[in-house]
Amino acid sequence: MTTQDQTFISLISTMGRVLLAESGEGTIMIERQLHQVAATYGYRLNTLCLSEYLEITTYRDAEQIDHLIVQATPGIASLSRISAVKTLLHAVEKGLALKVADDKMQEIATAPAMYPGWLRVIGTSFFAMGFAPLVIATWTEVWISGVLGILSGLLCVVLEKTRFGILFPLIASFAVGMITLTFFHDTAMSYGPVFLMIPALFICIPGDTMSAAAGEIFYGKLTAGSARLISAFMCLLQMVIGILLAMEVANTTLHTLEKGDISNTMNPFVILLFVIVFCLGLCLTFNVPMAYLTWLSIFAILTYAVQILVSQWTGDLIGTFVAAIVAGVLANLATQSPSQPPRVILFISSFFILTVGAKGIEGLSSIIGGYVVEGSREIMAMIILFPTVTIGIALGYLISTQKKQFPQKN
C-alpha cells in the first residue's frame, strides 16, 4: 500500500464516520458522497452502509487495497460539520490535492462545537418558543415553552458528552414533565400536559430520523431503514415513559393527558414571526452556521404556508405532501451552489415544521391516558405522515434533477 493509498483511506474513513454521526439525510447520500470522492481520486469503493455501521472495500484499478469498518452512532446533529463536508466535496471536485483534503477532513472531524454550551441552551429555549405557537397559539404556551426549553437545553449540553446521553429523551421528558406538573400545574391541566411539554421536548423528537428511515426503505435500503425506524420508536417510547414517570411522582392521573379546549389567540402573521425565532433556535441548538438563518427561515415559512393553504383546500395529508415536494425542489435547486447550505440543513426546518414525531408522542400519550380511539388516530397519522414527507421530498428531488444520482447497489 502506497502513501497515497493510506492518505485516501484516512480521508474516506474519517468522512464516513462524520457522515454517519450526522446522518439525518440517510445512508443513501452517505454512499453517494463517498463514491464521489473515490472516483475523483481514481479509486473504486464497495460499500455497505447501515444507520450506525459502514463497511468499505477500496480498490485501485482492479486491485483491492483495503477493507475497513467504521462505526458511529447518530445523535443530536452538529450540522456545521455537514456544511464543512459539503464545502470540502466541492473543493475536491475542483481538484483539491488528496493530502490537503485529508488534512481538512481531520480538522472537520475534530473541530469543537460551533457555539458554546450556554448559547446552545438559549438556542433550545428559542427553538421551543418558536415552535410553541404551532402547537397551541397562545402567549402562555410561548413563555412556558421558553422556560422549559432552558431546562431541556441544559440537560442536552450536560448529557451529550457522557455515557448517559443515550437516555437524554427519558431524562429530559421526566424533568420537563415534573416542572410542568408542579410549577405550571394549573396551566398544564387546562392545556393538556403533553401539549405544554412538546415544544421543550422537540429537540429529541425523532421526526427527521423517521423520515430518513422511510427514505431508506423507499429506496430499497431495508436493513438500514428498519434499524433507524426502530431507533426512532424507542426514542418516542423513552419520552412517553419519562412523562409517565413524572406523572407518577407528581401523583397526577393518566386522564389529564387529554388536550384541553384552548382557543388560539395569535394571528397568522405573529406565528410566522415565531417561525423565524424557531429557526434561530435551530441554528444555535444544532450548530448551524448563522449565515444560513435566512435560508432556513425561508424554507420553514414556505413549508408552513404551503401546508396551511393546501390543507384548507384539500386536507392535511395532501397539504403535507405538497409542502414536502416544494421543500424537496427548493432544497435541491438551492444547494447546487458551494456557498449555500447542504440539502439536509435546508429542509431540516421543514421536517420539524411538518411535526411527524410530535404526532407519535401525542398518540402514545393519549392511548396510555385511556383515550384509545383518539390516540390510535394520532399514531395512524404519524405512520402515514412520515413516509408522506419523505416521498414528497424525494419526488421534489427527482423533479428538480435531470438524472438519477443515487448510486446503485454494489
pLDDT at residue 336 tops 90? no
Label residue 404 by pLDDT band (50, 70, 90): very low
Q: Is residue 376 very low, low, confident or very high in pLDDT (cuts 50, 70, 90)?
A: low
Question: Is 24 or 288 the better-scoring residue by pLDDT?
Answer: 288
Separation between Cα atoms, residue 266 and residue 96, nearest integer Å: 52
The answer to whether residue 410 scores a pLDDT higher than 70 is: no
How many other β-carbons are positioned within 10 Å of the β-carbon of residue 311? 16
Q: Name the residue among 279, 345, 404 with its Cα closest to residue 85.
A: 345
Is residue 350 over pLDDT 50?
A: yes
What element of type H or E holds 200? helix 193-201
CB burial of residue 38 (10 Å; 0-12, 13-18, 19+): buried
| pLDDT of 318 strictly over 50 | yes
408 vs 267, higher pLDDT: 267
Give the start-to-end residue ranges of the domains of the chain. Answer: 3-110, 117-399
Output the CA torsion sign for 236, 237, 238, 241.
positive
Q: Do residues 105 and 19 lie in contact, with contact meaning Cβ atoms separated by under 8 Å?
A: no
Q: What is the pLDDT of residues 146-162, one digit of tens each?
A: 999 999 999 999 998 78
**Residue 191 host element (H or E):** helix 185-191
pLDDT tens digit sequence for 224-271? 888 888 888 888 888 888 988 998 898 876 556 666 667 778 888 888
pLDDT band at 405 (very low <50, low <70, confident <90, very high): very low
